[in-house]
Amino acid sequence: MTIRVCVGGATGWTGESIVSAVLGAEEFELVGAVARQAAGKTVGALRGEADGSAVRVAATARAALEVPADVYIDYTHPTAVYGNVMAAIEAGVAAVVGTSGLAAREYAEIDRAARARGVGVIAAGNFSVTAALLKHFSGIAARHVPHWEIVDMGSAGKPDAPSGTARELAEFLGTVADNKLARPVAGTLGSREARGATIGGAQVHSLRLPSYIISVESIFGLHDERLTIRHDAGSSAVPYVAGTLLASRLAPERVGLTQGLDRLLFDS
């Protein structure tokens, strides 16, 4: 059965690659696209294809979802993602969320709404397989090394801090084991802010500088030894496509929120 897909952020850095992958896959059909500045144009015209997709771009997710769809994929903006996902749930459409910026409270609200409507939502701070492995391996490490911090590195223009990858990792590790800070943050001399933000019981430090794309490190320490697990992403959106499409296949079969690509790869 063909899965009908609507892509939010269709002209964005990741969204363009998702649109191309959906158009090139026999199991998917592109039925909707969202991009505020390109509203009214066809996807084919945006791609420079005279005989390309006739799907017309909408300004909002709610408008795009007036066309029946099975899955809504969101790669928009942290300020828009919550409303977009709730619009999909209200329409009875499963959602795959790759946009950063949702807080734990918003995830809880999305889960409640999705369960009430009987639809599935799969969200990940990063849909890259290697980022999922970072999270998985870090979870194993946290069971054996009770001291860790997280460093999140992003491009100078990245608006959210920490990244979705780092936030998801920190919150996950907090469910695996108790992080035992060698010195409580409250006992810091000088500026406490220099110790980073406390998320999931871990200190998370965000760097935003030119030359970085996306990098996340989980650093575990014991006396006279240290373990660093690091994920680096390059300058293209290719790493996120396979995980997003996997989630798009599975989301219509689920009910409620599933958080993290690792849950799809490693849960039995």
**What is the rounded distance in angstroms from the CA atom of residue 96 to the CA atom of residue 72?**
6
CA-based torsion, 231, 233, 239, 240: positive or negative: positive
In this structure, are 141 and 225 located in the same domain? yes
Same domain, 218 and 179: yes
Spatial distance between the Cα atoms of 263 and 206, rounded to a whole number of angstroms: 25
Query: Is the domain of 133 the same as that of 119?
Result: no
User: Which domain, by its residues, includes 100?
Assistant: 3-123+236-266
Say if residue 41 is in the same domain as residue 93. yes
Residue in the block written with tokens 């929120």: 257
Q: Are residues 140 and 206 in the same domain?
A: yes
Give this prediction's pTM: 0.83
Give the total number of structural domains in the chain. 2
Among 207, 206, 141, 211, CA closest to 176: 141
15 and 79 share one domain = yes
With contact defined as beta carbons under 8 Å apart, do 92 and 71 qualify? no
Phi, psi of 178 (to 5 degrees): -90, 125
> 196 and 71, same structural domain?
no
Round to whole Å and give the CA distance between 208 and 161. Answer: 9
The enclosing domain of 77 has a CATH number of 3.40.50.720
Give 10-residue mean pLDDT values along the chain (268 residues): 95 93 96 94 91 93 97 95 98 95 91 98 92 95 96 92 92 94 84 92 95 93 96 87 95 95 82
CATH code of residue 182: 3.30.360.10
- Residue 268: the pLDDT is 43
- One domain, residues 137 and 89: no
Residues 81 and 145 in one domain: no
Find, among 4, 8, 166, 170, the residue nearest to 98 by Cα: 8
User: 227 with 182, same domain?
Assistant: yes
